[in-house]
């Protein structure tokens, strides 16, 4: 993901610099960002994102370009200033291949698992057995090479411990919880006054095939068609490969007046919109990925004091 938009990476990088570490960060470039800058003490190296297509072929192109760019920029950082520790953030788990020569040269490796990629692929493409096996192999290699493994939830830690032969002490949970002070300053009593008296429904997150946005649109259509309700508006905040299809589906269901796709916003702007929402939703369905994942959006909804509509998932129960 891009920096500083990825809040997990932002928090980790700033925490390290505040504690005296010198941090160089390599990531894709978002439109309008510089290829090279120093931000709050973090040296940022960005590469242009040339491929961002959907489907397996588009994903393969995107990852192949990212691997090439990351390999070159890692070597550039090593030549310019050197480093003692490489901190990898998945996906993809193939990043461990970039770190391998530096690991063999004595550098230490931290594997930061944002996603359980085998489960993510099963949820996204149920027929992608060969990809799941490859992802499982790369996850195993990442865990084997790493000196320390970080996961974002206790559920993910349990999955890794059950799947991998490693010492429990090697795995540490570093959660993605929002900062209470920042959230308290944003939290307000939900009000529809700014939306012509209509109730506001808020969604924040990725718009990818496994995220269940189709069921949200179907539910909104039921509100209009079956319940005769037209006194609401749904804000869908975020982006992803399924966004064009979701926009077409919203139009085919006659929801243009009731749904707005904002695209990706800054964290502050997204939180301000959600703080004023009457109810927040996460339509993520029950599957092997979501049931072992704690959605950051759910933690943020709770921190803002917003009522929520969710499926009954183990990750949601753990967050609560």
pLDDT tens figures, 25-42: 999 999 899 999 999 999
Identify whether 111 is part of a domain: yes
- pLDDT at 194 (0 to 100): 54
Q: In whole angstroms, how far apart are CA 18 and each of 13, 41, 145?
A: 9, 9, 27
**Range with lowest mean pLDDT among 29-43, 112-126, 247-261:** 112-126
129 belongs to a structural domain:
yes
Give the domain-ending residue among 131, 151, 173: 173
Query: Is 1 within the bounds of a domain?
Result: no
Q: Which of 128, 157, 173 is where one domain is finished?
A: 173
| pLDDT of 317 | 82
Q: Give the pLDDT of residue 191.
A: 54
3-state secondary structure 204-262: ECCCCHHHCHHHHHHHHHHHHHCCCCCCEEEEEEECCCCHHHHHHHHHHCCCCCCEEEE
The per-residue pLDDT for 34 is 96
Across residues 287-313, what is the average pLDDT? 90
Asked if residue 219 and residue 127 are part of one domain, the reply reads no
Do β-strands 108-113 and 199-204 pair in parallel, antiparallel, or remain unpaired? unpaired
What's the domain range around 252?
Answer: 180-319
Q: Write the pLDDT tens digit of every residue in 5-21.
A: 898 999 999 999 999 99
Claim to verify: residue 100 and residue 246 sit in the same structural domain = no
Summarize pLDDT for 54-94 with one digit per residue, the tens.
Answer: 666 777 788 899 999 999 999 999 999 999 999 999 999 99
Tell me whether the omega of the peptide bond preceding residue 51 falls within 30 degrees of 0, making it cis.
Answer: no
In a shared domain, residues 204 and 224:
yes
Tokens 């594997």: give the residue.
111
- Domain co-membership, 115 together with 260: no
Whether residue 288 sits in one domain with residue 147? no
* One domain for residues 75 and 109: yes
How many structural domains does the chain have? 2
Residues 61 and 204 in one domain: no
Residue 71 domain-assigned (yes or no) = yes
Confidence of residue 142 (pLDDT cuts 50, 70, 90): very high
Question: Which residues touch 66 (CB under 8 Å, ≥6 apart)?
Answer: 28, 47, 92
CATH number at residue 20: 3.40.50.2000
């Amino acid at each position: 993901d891009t920096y500083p938009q990825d809040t997990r990476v932002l928090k980790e990088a700033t925490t390290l610099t505040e504690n005296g570490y010198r941090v160089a960060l390599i990531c894709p470039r978002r439109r309008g960002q510089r290829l090279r800058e120093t931000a709050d003490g973090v040296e940022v190296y960005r590469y242009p994102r040339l491929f961002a297509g959907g489907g397996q072929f588009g994903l393969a192109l995107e990852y192949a370009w990212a691997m090439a760019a990351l390999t070159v920029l890692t070597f550039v950082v090593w030549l310019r200033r050197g480093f003692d520790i490489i901190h990898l953030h998945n996906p993809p788990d193939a990043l461990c291949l970039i770190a391998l020569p530096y690991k063999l040269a004595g550098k230490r490796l931290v594997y930061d698992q944002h996603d359980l990629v085998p489960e993510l692929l099963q949820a996204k493409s149920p027929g992608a057995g060969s990809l799941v096996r490859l992802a499982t192999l790369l996850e195993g290699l990442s865990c084997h090479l790493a000196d320390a493994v970080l996961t974002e939830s206790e559920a993910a830690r349990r999955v890794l411990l059950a799947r991998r032969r490693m010492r429990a002490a090697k795995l540490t949970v570093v959660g993605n919880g929002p900062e209470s002070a920042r959230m308290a300053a944003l939290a307000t009593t939900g009000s529809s006054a700014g939306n012509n008296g209509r109730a506001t429904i808020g969604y924040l997150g990725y718009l990818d095939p496994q995220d269940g946005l189709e069921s949200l649109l179907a539910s909104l259509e039921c509100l209009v068609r079956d319940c005769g309700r037209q006194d609401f508006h749904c804000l869908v905040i975020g982006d992803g490969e399924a966004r064009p299809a979701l926009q077409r589906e919203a139009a085919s269901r006659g929801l243009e007046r009731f749904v707005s796709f904002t695209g990706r916003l800054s964290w502050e702007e997204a939180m301000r919109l959600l703080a004023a929402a009457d109810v927040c939703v996460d339509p993520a369905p029950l599957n092997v990925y979501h049931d072992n994942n704690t959605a950051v959006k759910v933690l943020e909804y709770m921190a803002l004091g917003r009522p929520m509509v969710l499926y009954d998932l183990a990750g949601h129960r753990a967050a609560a």
